[in-house]
């Protein structure tokens, strides 16, 4: 390279940059996975609540 810096220094800098970006992306993916799990659990609870309310509605509807 013409900048006077040894080539291995360039490779080390690129390697460090790659590793930092990889770590950041892995943290981001983990955060998204955690958020996704929370939303899935929330959806399960809502579906369960809907099932309960449907049964209650059917019981009340049947009485009248």
pLDDT of residue 1: 58
Task: Name, in order, each residue with C-beta under 8 angstroms of 10's C-beta and a sequence gap of 6 or more.
Answer: 1
Of 51, 32, 30, the closest CA to residue 40 belongs to: 32
Rounded alpha-carbon distances, angstroms, from residue 37 to 25, 48, 49, 54: 18, 17, 18, 26
Question: Given a cut of 90, is residue 2 above it in pLDDT?
Answer: no
pLDDT tens digits, 20-63: 999 999 999 999 999 999 999 999 999 999 999 999 999 999 99
- Other residues' Cβ atoms within 10 Å of the Cβ of residue 40: 10
């Amino acid at each position: 390279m013409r900048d006077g810096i040894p080539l291995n220094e360039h490779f080390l800098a690129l390697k460090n940059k790659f590793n930092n970006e990889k770590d950041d992306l892995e943290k981001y993916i983990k955060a998204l996975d955690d958020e996704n799990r929370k939303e899935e659990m929330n959806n399960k609870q809502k579906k369960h609540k809907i099932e309960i309310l449907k049964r209650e509605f059917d019981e009340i509807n049947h009485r009248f």
